[in-house]
A and B are shown apart, each in its own frame.
Chain A
Amino acid sequence: MASSVVASTANIWRNLPVKAKVGVFLFGFFVLAAIIGPMVEPYDPGFQNTAANALSAHPSAQHLFGTTQLGQDVLSQVLTGIRLTLELALLVGVIVTVISVLVGVTAAFLGGIWDDVLSLLTNVFLVIPALPVLIVLLGYLPQQGQTPTILVLSLLGWPWGARVIRVQTLTIRNRDFIAASRESGEKTWRIIIFDIIPNEISLIAASFVNTVLYAIGASVALAFIGLTDVNSWSLGTVLYWVQQDDAVQSNAWWWFVPPGLAVALMGVSLVLLNSGIDEIGNPRLRASRASAKVAGHRIWPTDPTPVYAQLAAERSRLGSFLHSFSRSSLYDETPAGSELR
């Protein structure tokens, strides 16, 4: 049992596109940074090195990413920022995924008036723009900090996943094997947990990744405009101080590039991850990637079906040499009509 899980995971990994693998590694790097950050950061992010030459200093051996206007070490700030931002985003991701699965599956399963009501609720939350509402909500709250931000982000983040999961659940629900389970008297909750959810794993995973992406973006944006705790060191807050202290005008690129880049790369890694999950879940996308090349020639969708004899004839000597390094050369060695490997 376990070995087959390992085997199928290995199989999935092998067939992932390059960009998805890059995404996995990149995201893993950030998770690592978040975990070992507090042990590795050279200074406390708030510590101000008031030596004369240490204010807004260029990157040096002492301060790998330079310092801020107040003499604070940018590298430490970025490390702490990564950790805080990731913590928040992952937490929001979990909460939102749970809510959206609950709502989506319930709406699909109960059907009838419940479905209508929940769908209406989902669509209303979907269509109302999130960020302005988040800004105003934070404005009303007396204190600012991680918790309200998490609550407020979760409150508005669930409809996307809920909608998609509802549609998928409806499709699965009408399949025969569910009817079979029902006929045999399986309790509803068992059907949901053991039959439906395993079939939606890639969808739930994609939804989770999307939510984390949204949470990172939204929390950084909110922090940037100064609506979350300006004394904590999330990446958005670092950028807030960048803006406040006119780092751009004074060309202190080492101050604003690292945190922004960190956010961007975290985001990119998630987007790449998601494209990998997309291809696992949507076989047509995968097929289009794996199949556009036959015998070293690129075949476009509306090209006539290639004829092997024609293709094989057209490759030049250099082309053949180069082609022998590719994986498809394994399949192309055999002449037409006889034993194909």
Chain B
Amino acid sequence: MSPILEIRDLSVAYRTPDGDVRAVEQVNLTLNAGEVVGLCGESGSGKSTLAYGATRLLRPPAVVTGGSVLYGGRRITQGGDPADLLAMDQRELRAMRWREVAIVFQSAMNALNPVLRIQDQLLDAVQAHLKLSRHDAREKVASLLDLVGIPRTRLRSYPHELSGGMRQRVMIAMALAADPEVVIMDEPTTALDVVVQRDILSQVVELKETLGFAIMFITHDLSLLLELADRIAVMYAGRLMETGSSRDIMRDAAHPYTMGLLNSFPALHGPRRTLAGIPGSPPDLRNPKPGCPFVPRCPHARPACAEVDMSLAPVSGSAGAGVPGVVSHLTACPFVTPQMSQEGQASQEGVLS
């Protein structure tokens, strides 16, 4: 499986008069064709910045300060080498947007133009990239709505006339308008209630199976990813803490932060426990201290943490990295094993109950 999107050593910073805010720091992430990769982290962890920075949609004062974003879709590379999004000029980027990489934004109400009808907004997306006759374009737009289960009568509606769930479906339909290879979903269901959420997500999975695109799913809700994603990457303070298959993360979480996240939501079955959560708050990204940013909130913190270089290494006891066909389970914390993580968490709970 060759990767369709490969983010290498990406760093993004915001230039402010008070100094640079390093929102993303040397992140490596790979997305294979047809795969669902979940990107998980709390607000301010840099997950959205990562996605928008990789697609170069961030506004000034954001700057990409290093790395490369290699896109391997066949339409662009035509069998040759992957193209670096960071090296493209405006024209090439514009051709690539939506056709190769599409985005489903977080708040559909804000992401839809309030004064345009749904039909016109979808037509925009279609006609910017596909050379279709007017009639064909309209037919395509109508079929997009069919795809997400919205009645065609809604074509002439304005965004404010639709319900939240419908708007989000429209956003998804719009993302699929040009048959992309990669769809980035930025917290698409956060603002919706769980029933609608379930509906939409199962529809997304169905569409993925049918149309064959890869998904980068960004959310703060790890429980969602455990079900939905093939692989999960956990971010904190602009850095990756842990990556692995969803099974690995669920069963053998190696990083204390991941463990903290896992224990922040209750299980439906089993005895009632006090939720542990993670005390404290994310660090100031303007003056990052050396070493691991999670130190102030980590139950396993020790003096050596200040010298960790934050590169990802295979989790001890997992199948070795680089073995073909095996998804590697990597962690940034060299001191903690999955077992220690689980014990530490249990003792935390003990303290709180």
Contacts and interface: CB of A to CB of B under 8 A. Distances in A.
A304 B16 CA distance: 18
A293 B16 CA distance: 11
Interface string A278-294: 00000000010011111
A340 B22 contact: yes
Given A305-B53, A341-B19, A292 B63 contact: no
A309 interface: yes
Looking at B17, B19, B22, B52, which has the most chain A CB atoms within 10 Å of its CB? B17
Contacts of B129: none
Contact of A337 (B9, B53, B58): B9
B13 interface: yes
Interface residues of A, number: 25
Interface stretch (B64-72, B180-188, B262-270): B64-72
Contacts of B63: 294-295, 305-308, 311
A30 B23 CA distance: 47
Contact of B66 (A292, A301, A306, A308): A308
A307 B10 CA distance: 11
A291 B316 CA distance: 45
Contacts of A311: 63
Contacts of B13: 340
B114 interface: no
Nearest to A288: B60
B60 A292 contact: yes
A337 B67 contact: yes
B86 to A, nearest CB: 5
Given A304-B56, A305-B57, A337-B26, A294 B15 contact: yes
A306 B20 contact: no
Contacts of B86: 307, 309-310
A117 interface: no
B121 interface: no
Contacts of A189: none
A307 B60 contact: no
Given A290-B17, A341-B19, A305 B87 contact: no
Interface in A300-332: 301, 303-311, 328, 331
Contact of B59 (A291, A295, A340): A291
B62 interface: yes
B61 interface: yes
Interface string B13-40: 1011101101000100000000000000
A310 B84 CA distance: 12
A304 B17 contact: no
Contacts of A292: 60
Given A336-B11, A336-B66, A331 B26 contact: no
B93 interface: yes
B111 to A, nearest CB: 16
B93 to A, nearest CB: 5
A308 B65 CA distance: 5
Contacts of B210: none
A120 B66 CA distance: 57
A328 B60 CA distance: 14
Nearest to B14: A291
B11 A305 contact: no
B90 interface: yes
A8 interface: no
B311 to A, nearest CB: 13
A303 B86 CA distance: 13
A294 B60 contact: yes
Contacts of A294: 15, 60-61, 63
Contacts of B61: 287, 290-291, 294
Interface in A9-59: 15
Nearest to A298: B60
A292 B60 CA distance: 6
A204 to B, nearest CB: 26
A287 B58 CA distance: 14
B249 to A, nearest CB: 28
A290 to B, nearest CB: 6
A299 interface: yes
A274 to B, nearest CB: 22
A7 to B, nearest CB: 14
A336 B17 contact: no
B90 A303 contact: yes
Interface string B74-110: 0000000000001110100100000000000000000
A162 B318 CA distance: 67
A284 to B, nearest CB: 11
Nearest to B54: A305
B9 A305 contact: no
B20 A308 contact: no
18 contacts: A15-B17, A290-B17, A290-B61, A291-B59, A293-B60, A294-B60, A301-B59, A305-B12, A305-B62, A306-B60, A306-B63, A306-B64, A307-B63, A307-B87, A308-B63, A310-B86, A331-B15, A340-B20
Given A294-B15, A310-B87, 7 more contacts: A290-B17, A291-B61, A303-B90, A305-B58, A307-B56, A309-B66, A340-B22
